[in-house]
Structure 1
Amino acid sequence: MPEGHSVHRIARQFDRNFVGRTVEASSPQGRFVEGAAVISGRSATEVRAVGKQMFLEFDDDLWLRVHLGMYGAWDFAGEILVDPTIASANGRMGQTNQRGTDLDAPILDDAGENSLTSIGAPRRARVHVRMSEQTTGLADEGDEWPPPVVGQVRLRLLTSTTCADLRGPTACELQTPDEVAATIAKLGPDPLVDDVAEGEERFAAVVRRKPTPIGLLLMDQNVVSGIGNVYRAELLFRARQNPHTPGREVPEDVIRELWRDWVRLIAIGVETGQMMTMDGLDPASYRKAMASRDDRHWVYHRAGLPCRVCGTSIVVEEAAGRKLYWCPRCQA
C-alpha cells in the first residue's frame, strides 16, 4: 500500500503541474464517467495531502478525493515540472542525514519506488515523461499526445502538456468543502500538515489511553496519518518497542519518540521518494540502500534473516490482515 510520503509527493506534482491550469477529465475505464464530466473544463485551484488521502480542488468549491488504498497509483506523462523539494529531474536524490554521498549521480531504485512517473503501488512505469524545472514541451518530438490509454484507468486528468492517469484506487469521489473537512477531521495528525508539537500531543493522548497493541495503533489512520506496513515495522524496531504492547502500557517517552521519529522519516521519504529507515550509513552503503529495498530497512521484508543488530531471526506474523515484521530479541 502506498504510504504517506507517496501521497505527499503526488500532491506536490499536482501543485506544480495542474494547479492553475484548465483540466480535461475522462474515465476510460467507465467507472467515474459522471464525476469526470463534472470536473472537465474546470481549473484546478488547490491540492492537499493528508496521510494517505489527496484532495484536489477545482473551480466552484468542487473537490476530488482520492485514496489509493492497496493497489492505487498515479501514472504521469508529458512534461513534468519537478518540485524542487523532492528528487530532481535526473534522478538525483536529496541528502538528509548522510554525509559524503555524491548527490550529482542518479540513484535508481530497483523497484521503482523513487519514480516520478508512477507514484503509488509498486509497478513498472507505463509512460514516458520528460521531467524538468522549465516547461520545454512534450517528452520527445513525434510522441503521441495525449498518450494512449493503457489498462484500467479510472480517471485521466489532462492539461495541454501533462497527463495523469489514476489506476486502482480504493476511493475516487467528488466532495463538497464540508465533506472534505469532515473526512480530514476523522484522520489522525500528519506531521507534514499539522503543527508538529500539537500533533505529538494528539498522538500521545490517544495512544496512552488505548488497550490496543501499539503495532495496530500505528496503522490506524484515526490515530496517526500516513503510516503503513513498512514504516510501522521500522518505527517500532527503531524504538526497540514490542509491537504487542498495549498502547496505554508503552512508556510515555517511547510514545513521543515514535511520533518524533515519524516526523523525521516521512520528511526523508518525501524528499527521496524512498522509505529509507537506516541511519549512520557510509556513502557506499547509503547509495546501495537507496538503490535496493533489501538494503534499506532494519526488519521489513526480512523474515528469517538475521537481525542487523543482534543476529536473531526476524519474525513475521499476521496482524489485522497485514504482515508484521519484528525482532523478538531487540523488541522483547
Structure 2
Amino acid sequence: MKRINESSPVGFILLGFSDQPQLEVVLLFIISIFYILTLVGNTTIILVSYLNPKLHTPMYFFLSNLSFLDLCFTTSIIPQMLWNLGGPDKSITYIGCVIQFYVALGLGSTECVLLTVMAYDRYIAICRPLHYAIIMHPRLLKKLAAVIWASGFIESLVQSILTFQLSLCSHHRVDDFMCEEPALIKIAAVETTFLETELCIASILYVIMPLGFIIISYGYIARTTLRIKSTGRRQKVWGTCASHLLVVTLFFGTILVVYIQPKNKYTQNQSKFLTLFYTVVTPTLNPMIYTLRNKDVKGAVRRLLCQNQGSGEK
C-alpha cells in the first residue's frame, strides 16, 4: 500500500468510458463542439461587457466573472478529457491530477459563491432600487470579487491537501473522466470517514448554504414583484432574473446530485454522465441563456458585429 504522494511518477488512469470505444468516439466529437461553443460564447460575453459602456454595471461585472470562470473551468478539464477520449492512453500524471483537482474544485466552489452574490445583486436592484447605486459601488464590487475567488480556492486548497494524503489502491484506476474527490475517495485503501465528513461539511458551506441564500433572495424578490401592479413591469423584473435562475438550477442541480447523493443511488455510468453535464454542458449553456434572454446583450453583440462589418468594408 502506497501513499499517493509517494507514487507521484506513476500517475493515474482515468477510465471514463474506456470499456465502450464507440461511445468514446461520439463523446469526442460532441465534447469538442461544446468546448468550442463554450470558448466562443463566454469570450463574446466578456468582450461585449467590456467594450459596451452601457454594460458597465454590477450585473454585467459579475456576469463577466462567471464567463471567465467557465472558460477557466472547462479548460482545466476538457483538453485532458479529449486527449483520453481520442486514443488508448487514459493516463494523467500525478502533478496533472493535483493541478486539475485543485483548479477545478476551486473554480467550482467559486461559482457557488459567485451565483449567490449575483442573487444578492438582483435582490438589491429589485427590492431596494433607490439604494442600489450606493450599495453596489465599484469599490464594493472589487472587494466582493476578491472574496469570491479567494474563498473558492482556499476551500479547494484544504480539500486538496486532505485528499492527496490518502493511501490509495496500487492500481490508481480512477473510474471517472477527471480527478475529483468522490472518484478518488472510492479508490482509497484506508478508512475515509473523516474525509467524507469533511466533504459533507464543505458541501454544506459551499452548496447548501449558498443555495439557501439564493432561495431566500428570490423569495424577497417574488414578494416585491407581486406588489407591482403593472404587468409589464412585473414581466421586466422576472425577465432580468430568469436567466440567473435557470443557470442556478442547472449548476446546483447537478452538483447536488454528484456530491450529496446517497451512496449507490446512481450507477457509476449515470454519475459519469452527470459529471459530463456540469463540466461540459452547463458552461456552454450559460452564455446562451444570458444572450438569448437578454435584450441588452443581444443588442450589444449586434452593434459590435455591425461595427466590425463596417470597419471591414472600409
Q: Same fold (TM over 0.5)?
A: no
Structure with the higher helix share, 1 or 2? 2
- TM bin, normalised by shorter chain, reads under 0.3
TM-score by length of 1: 0.26
- Compare CA radii of gyration and give the structure with the larger one: 2
